[in-house]
Structure formats: C-alpha cells, structure tokens
C-alpha cells in the first residue's frame, strides 16, 4: 500500500467503530462510496477481526511508491 492508499483507507474508515471483521469494514466503506482502489486495499487484508484502524493499515500489503515496476530508464 502506498501512502496515498493509507490515507484513502483512513478516510474510508473514519467514524467506524472497532473491533470489527474485514467484511464489516468493506460494507462500511462501500456505503460511504469509497473508490475502487480503497475497496481493493481493504479486500487485500486477511479475513479476521481487527481491533483498530492501525491494525488494518498494518495488514494491507505494502507496494513500492513510484511508477511502473522496473522503472524504465530514459536514454
């Protein structure tokens, strides 16, 4: 997850009460009309119960910041 994704997830879960299951978070974010990237980040976390938003953010797989993989060099 990039820093931008982290901010999206935080915004999507603003006002959400923990602890909660992944599916409950997805329902909440969907109801708040979260964008596809935010919902994908939430879907990528393992199913289970999360005690806090911080736990959720730690569970989302990390992706490197920047452009396309391999970073094509200009020459």
Residue-wise pLDDT for 24-57, tens only, equals 999 999 999 999 999 998 998 999 999 999 999 8
Cβ neighbourhood burial of 31 (10 Å; 0-12, 13-18, 19+): exposed
Tens-digit pLDDT profile for residues 3-12: 777 888 989 9
* DSSP 8-state class, residue 68: S
Q: Answer for the pair 60, 26: CB distance below 8 angstroms, yes or no.
A: no
Query: pLDDT by residue (tens digit) across 50-73?
Result: 999 999 988 887 765 554 444 444
């Amino acid at each position: 997850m990039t820093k931008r994704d982290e901010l999206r997830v935080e915004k999507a879960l603003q006002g959400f009460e923990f602890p909660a299951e992944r599916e409950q978070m997805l329902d909440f974010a969907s109801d708040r009309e979260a964008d596809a990237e935010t919902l994908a980040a939430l879907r990528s976390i393992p199913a289970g119960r999360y005690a806090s938003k911080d736990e959720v953010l730690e569970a989302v797989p990390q992706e490197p910041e920047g452009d396309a993989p391999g970073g094509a060099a200009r020459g």
